[in-house]
């Protein structure tokens, strides 16, 4: 329902995070002069059980620090989660009150309905409040699954004073002492206070009964969340309780077809309902897709990306950051870019953005910065463009989601560019990306310091050998693993066109691009570049330069230079003629191949479409060696679309703490491993000498980890 | 309800603000000092805790006190008048609760069996309805409208509202 739900956040804990960052994003748009959001509020309806997710409580401080008084949490405290009580022995409302207040929030509790007002008025010695304070939630839950008589005995009966208070109440009157969350007046008072409160976000803790009004089989029962079927008796009792004009026969005729109720469009109640919505500005929820059209950057912004790095070495991270800088300089487009960083800007060379773009802080910069005299000083500003989330990937994805949906939420497209350690992306926050996709978020996700052997020396928990595979599970994510700056330029340009360009169809994409920290020589863009190949996932980078036994080398990202070296060694030492292909996206090639298979499957009478990779490699003879700094499963995705013999070299396993060269030798993915693997396949076909593979293993000391030479030692981490 | 200005307590000192009557403040502090001197720290601690508790009960926002009594934060005499017609609102809330429960119930027909939750919305209907009838602003509101994150488990209630609105 893309025109109805705006914020589909069903996975517990994601709603609270995203609501906080939505409130931040509203202020960000306002402070940067993109849109006046001063009269907009964010409401998040949450469960008390949901507050046990660390995501639910872990970002509260941001809302307090940024004084997000445009944010209201309403926590439905029904004291129950799926299996049982949230805090049987304790009091979840008191715990949350302390927690939120400690985090700097304004707290409003709505515990009791109006029926209690009179009793509390009479409670001069505090006996009633004393019982209220000391009764655990487990008991409160049980009361509501029992009866008025039970409440009289077990609650009011605790002291003579309280027992006396309800002496002239009937059991029914005791039963009807309601909880605050079911009382219009009490809830209204709380919402009004919340929306008028200045300087802090507000949380409303409203006490309710789960399954309220559904009768004794549902109210307050432990299994109530899972109970979906109503018996004939339940339905009739519920009908009576709600005074619905439906007859017994209508229920009993076909139990599973119990009728809905509508009084007709002219009923005064329906008129009232519609009038209220009209007065408040239309229906909620509603999602609108229309937005300001933006002019995308022209050729100029991509010029530097085509130039290469000359004699200097540069990592693809640097190439990307340089491109981003040029995009942000674009006069019409640049201010819509939202760089999001969880505290690694310096590693990525993005500290160069600090003095000009500045770091967003609604409180400005109220201290003397230690590096104020430096060119790259740390500058915070109310108008800052960079969202610096701190060491906080969960919050960063929430910020990404808010910015990446501003096109719909506010009709103002923003282009979030979230740059982070690739290991802490899909693995750590995969659920949030899934929710982002559901919310139709658009933007760039840049997995830096990618690869299993490229960021060595920080332990196996930093060594990303699988994020593209995890990314492939999200249908909205388009994954690229480019080798060079010019490839990045074309990919980003196409991404902007697809996500934000006028008339583009299917814009609801997120571009995941992996970049590396290893400095390499960045070639300038070749004259006759196969741009379509880059965008679809594979192009011929370096055709074989000699005649001889044929082999095909497929590589992606940081492994492309290894394949080029292997091509040279194969030619020089073994007379083998190998082509080198840069695979910019294994994932997109697979999706295209699967789509072609699906076409063929459902249209057996038509000529089957040939997958793109099969077309590209038509006529590319000889065995294929695919090499990657990721696990083997990533290149293996395209195996079924190629008729050639196919071998994969990849970095399966946890990682290896040593130099890059040693790690690549350890995983047998280095240049010499590619050479030996190609020889082995050619020998089996009788195209090179049968002894060549063994000879090569000896010659290159392939089994000696310390003999590896693939890769250098530079780069930030 | 007192309106608090300024940042979170963790960034301010306990007293904060300006002292409107330093002489009176000094007398209070003197009394406390005397209490500690005569009766000892244990007694002083008890008195202080009691005063803090009382302050909470009287809606005096005191920093560093993290919980208040298990009663409504807004005292009865500070409740605003409810601006709606409660009877009418209750009436169509009942219809929504019925339609929401029936919707999930119908989906349990053995050959359909698609799941859904009844109890969450049943218990939260008032929390949503007060919002819908009095607070949540739509996209045509001059301010641009509010952003509301609904609980997924309560979605049958939103569809029930849709059923009343569109039929």
Mind listing the pLDDT tens digit for each residue in A429-456? 999 999 999 999 999 999 999 999 999 8
> Among A291-300, A463-472, A665-674, B13-22, which is the least confidently predicted range?
B13-22
> Among A335-339, A615-619, B112-116, which is the least confidently predicted range?
B112-116
Contact B134 A268 (CB under 8 A): no
The answer to whether the CB of A207 falls within 8 A of the CB of A93 is: yes
Which of B85, B135, B141 faces A272 most closely, judged by CB atoms?
Answer: B85
pLDDT of A351 reads 93
pLDDT of residue B1 exceeding 60, the answer is: no
Nearest CA in chain B to A44: B149
Contact residues on chain B for A283, CB-CB shorter than 8 A: 138, 165
pLDDT of B165 reads 84
| Tokens found for residue A362 | 């609604």
Residues A70 and A31: their CA atoms lie apart, in Å, by 14
Residues A377 and A370: their CA atoms lie apart, in Å, by 8
pLDDT of A343 reads 87
Average pLDDT score over chain A: 95
Nearest CA in chain B to A243: B94
pLDDT of B55 reads 85
Contact B139 A286 (CB under 8 A): yes
pLDDT band at B15 (very low <50, low <70, confident <90, very high): low
pLDDT band at A344 (very low <50, low <70, confident <90, very high): confident
Residues A226 and B120: their CA atoms lie apart, in Å, by 10
pLDDT of B6 reads 43
pLDDT of residue B7 exceeding 60, the answer is: no
Nearest CA in chain A to B97: A242
What is the ipTM metric for this complex?
0.94
Residue from B72, B89, B109, B113 whose CB has the most chain A CBs within 10 Å, to mutate: B72
CB atoms inside a 10 Å sphere around CB A37: 23
Helical segments of A337-463, H only: 354-357, 393-404, 406-409, 426-438
Considering only residues B14 and A493, tell me which one the structure prediction assigns the higher pLDDT: A493
The reply to whether the predicted model has a pTM over 0.90 is: yes
Contact A185 B107 (CB under 8 A): no
Contact B4 A106 (CB under 8 A): yes
- Residue B59 to chain A, least CA–CA distance (Å): 11
pLDDT of A302 reads 96
At CB < 8 A and 24+ separation, what contacts does A133-138 make?
A: A133/B69, A133/B70, A135/B70, A136/A87, A136/A88, A136/A89, A136/A90, A136/A91, A137/A79, A137/A85, A137/A86, A137/A87, A137/A88, A137/A89, A137/A90, A137/A91, A137/A92, A138/A85, A138/A88, A138/A89
> Among A87-101, A148-162, B43-57, which is the least confidently predicted range?
B43-57
The answer to whether the CB of A645 falls within 8 A of the CB of A681 is: yes
Name, in order, each residue with C-beta under 8 angstroms of A401's C-beta and a sequence gap of 6 or more.
A18, A21, A432, A435, A436, A439, A441
- Compute the average pLDDT of residues A356-379: 95
Tell me what percent of the residues of chain B surpass a pLDDT of 90: 55
Residues B10 and B66: their CA atoms lie apart, in Å, by 13
pLDDT of A715 reads 82
Q: Which of A125, A207, A113 is nearest to A162 (CA)?
A: A125
Q: How far from A640 is each of A470, A556, A589, A628, CA to CA, in Å?
A: 20, 18, 11, 18
pLDDT of B167 reads 56
Phi-psi region of A372 (alpha: psi -120 to 50; beta: other; left: phi over 0): alpha
| Tokens found for residue B140 | 């045509």
Average pLDDT score over chain B: 86
Contact B154 A196 (CB under 8 A): no
Helical segments of A243-392, H only: 248-253, 268-279, 303-307, 316-329, 354-357
Residues A592 and A590: their CA atoms lie apart, in Å, by 5
Strand ranges, E, within A493-557: 510-514, 520-521, 538-542, 549-555
Contact B116 A228 (CB under 8 A): yes
Contact residues on chain A for B108, CB-CB shorter than 8 A: 228-229, 256
pLDDT of B16 reads 60
pLDDT of residue A82 exceeding 90, the answer is: no
Contact A284 B69 (CB under 8 A): no
- Compute the average pLDDT of residues B87-105: 94
pLDDT of B14 reads 54
Residues A705 and A658: their CA atoms lie apart, in Å, by 10
How many residue pairs from chains A and B have C-beta atoms closer than 8 A? 329
Which run of H or of E encompasses B27? helix B22-39
The answer to whether the CB of B150 falls within 8 A of the CB of A19 is: no
- Residue A155 to chain B, least CA–CA distance (Å): 14
pLDDT of B42 reads 87
CB atoms inside a 10 Å sphere around CB A635: 27
pLDDT of B64 reads 60
Between residues 4 and 63 of chain B, which touch chain A (CB distance below 8 Å)?
4-10, 57
Nearest CA in chain A to B163: A262
Cα dihedral A317, A322, A328, A330, rounded to 10, equals -140
The answer to whether the CB of A212 falls within 8 A of the CB of A115 is: no
pLDDT of B120 reads 86
Residues A120 and A128: their CA atoms lie apart, in Å, by 7
Residue from A110, A115, A285, A406 whose CB has the most chain B CBs within 10 Å, to mutate: A285
pLDDT of B130 reads 98
pLDDT of residue B12 exceeding 50, the answer is: no
pLDDT of A620 reads 97
B113 burial class (0-12, 13-18, 19+ CB within 10 angstroms)?
exposed
Nearest CA in chain B to A410: B144
The answer to whether the CB of B2 falls within 8 A of the CB of B59 is: yes
pLDDT of B8 reads 41
């Amino acid at each position: 329902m893309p025109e109805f739900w705006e914020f589909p956040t069903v996975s517990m804990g994601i709603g609270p995070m995203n609501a906080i960052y939505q409130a931040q994003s509203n202020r960000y748009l306002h402070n940067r002069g993109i849109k006046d959001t001063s009269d907009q509020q964010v409401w998040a309806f949450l469960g008390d059980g949901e507050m046990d997710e660390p995501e639910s409580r872990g970002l509260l401080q941001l809302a307090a620090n940024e004084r997000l008084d445009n944010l209201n949490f309403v926590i439905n405290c029904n004291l129950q989660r799926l299996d049982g009580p949230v805090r049987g022995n304790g009091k979840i409302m008191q715990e949350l009150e302390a927690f939120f207040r400690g985090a700097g929030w304004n707290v409003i509790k709505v515990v009791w309905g109006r029926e209690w007002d009179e009793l509390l008025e009479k409670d001069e010695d505090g006996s009633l409040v004393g019982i209220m304070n000391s009764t655990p939630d487990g008991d409160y839950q049980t009361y509501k699954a029992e009866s008025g008589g039970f409440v009289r005995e077990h609650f009011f009966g605790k002291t003579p004073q309280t027992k006396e208070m309800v002496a002239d109440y009937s059991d029914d009157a005791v039963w009807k002492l309601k909880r605050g969350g079911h009382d219009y007046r009490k809830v209204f008072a709380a919402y009004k206070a919340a929306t008028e409160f200045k300087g802090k976000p507000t949380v409303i803790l409203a006490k309710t009964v789960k399954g309220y009004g559904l009768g004794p089989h549902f109210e307050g029962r432990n299994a109530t969340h899972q109970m979906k079927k109503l018996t004939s008796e339940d339905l009739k009792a519920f009908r009576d309780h709600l005074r619905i004009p439906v007859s017994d026969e209508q229920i009993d005729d076909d139990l599973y077809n119990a009728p809905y109720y509508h009084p007709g469009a002219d009923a005064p109640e329906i008129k009232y309902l519609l009038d209220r919505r009209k007065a408040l500005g239309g229906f909620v929820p509603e999602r609108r897709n229309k937005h300001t059209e933006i002019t995308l950057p022209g050729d100029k912004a991509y010029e530097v990306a085509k130039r290469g790095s000359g004699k200097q070495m540069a990592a693809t991270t640097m190439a990307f950051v340089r491109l981003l800088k040029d995009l942000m300089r674009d006069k019409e487009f640049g201010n819509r870019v939202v760089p999001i960083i969880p505290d690694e800007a310096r590693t990525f060379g993005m500290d160069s953005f600090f003095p000009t773009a500045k770091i967003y802080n609604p409180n400005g910069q109220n201290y003397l910065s230690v590096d104020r005299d430096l060119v790259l000083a740390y500058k915070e500003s109310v108008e800052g463009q960079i969202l610096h989330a701190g060491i906080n990937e969960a919050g960063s994805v929430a910020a990404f989601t808010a910015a990446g949906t501003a096109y719909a939420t506010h009709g103002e497209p923003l282009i979030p560019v979230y740059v982070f350690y690739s290991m802490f992306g899909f693995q750590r926050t995969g659920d949030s990306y899934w929710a982002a996709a559901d919310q139709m978020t658009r933007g760039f996700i840049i997995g830096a310091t990618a690869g299993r052997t490229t960021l060595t020396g920080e332990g196996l928990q930093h060594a990303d050998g699988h994020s593209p595979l995890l990314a492939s599970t999200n249908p909205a994510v388009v994954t690229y693993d480019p080798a060079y700056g010019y490839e990045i330029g074309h990919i980003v340009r196409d991404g902007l066109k697809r996500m934000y360009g006028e008339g583009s169809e299917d814009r609801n994409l997120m571009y995941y691009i992996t970049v590396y920290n290893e400095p390499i020589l960045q070639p300038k863009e070749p004259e006759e570049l196969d741009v379509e190949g880059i965008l679809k996932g594979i192009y011929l980078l370096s055709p074989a330069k000699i005649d001889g036994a044929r082999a095909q080398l497929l590589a992606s990202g940081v492994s492309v230079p290894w394949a080029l070296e292997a091509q040279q060694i194969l030619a020089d030492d073994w007379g083998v003629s190998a082509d080198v292909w840069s695979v910019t996206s294994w994932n997109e090639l697979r999706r295209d191949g699967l789509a072609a298979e699906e076409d063929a499957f459902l249209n057996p009478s038509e000529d089957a479409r040939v997958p793109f990779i099969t077309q590209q490699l038509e006529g590319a003879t000889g065995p294929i060696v695919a090499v990657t700094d990721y696990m083997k499963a990533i290149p293996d995705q395209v195996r079924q679309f190629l008729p050639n013999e196919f071998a994969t070299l990849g970095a399966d396993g946890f990682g290896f703490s040593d130099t890059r060269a040693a790690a690549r030798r350890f995983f047998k993915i280095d240049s010499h491993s590619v050479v030996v693997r190609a020889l082995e396949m050619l020998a089996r076909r009788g195209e090179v000498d049968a002894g060549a593979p063994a000879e090569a293993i000896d010659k290159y000391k392939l089994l000696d980890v310390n003999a590896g030479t693939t890769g250098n030692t530079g780069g930030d981490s | 309800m007192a309106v608090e200005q300024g940042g979170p307590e963790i960034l301010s000192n306990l007293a904060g603000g300006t002292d409107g009557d330093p002489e009176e403040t000094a007398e209070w502090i003197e009394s406390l000092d005397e209490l500690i001197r005569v009766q000892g720290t244990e007694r002083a601690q008890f008195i202080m805790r009691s005063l803090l508790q009382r302050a909470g009960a009287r809606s005096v926002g005191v920093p560093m006190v993290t919980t208040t009594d298990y009663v409504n934060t807004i005292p009865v005499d500070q409740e605003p008048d409810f601006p709606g017609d409660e009877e009418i609102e209750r009436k169509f809330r009942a219809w929504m609760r019925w339609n929401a429960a029936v919707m999930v119930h119908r989906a349990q027909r053995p050959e359909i069996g698609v799941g859904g939750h009844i109890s969450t919305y049943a218990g939260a209907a008032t929390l949503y309805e007060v919002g819908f009838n009095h607070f949540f602003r739509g996209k045509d509101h001059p301010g641009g409208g509010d952003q509301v994150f609904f609980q997924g488990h309560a979605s049958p209630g939103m569809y029930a509202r849709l059923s009343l609105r569109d039929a």
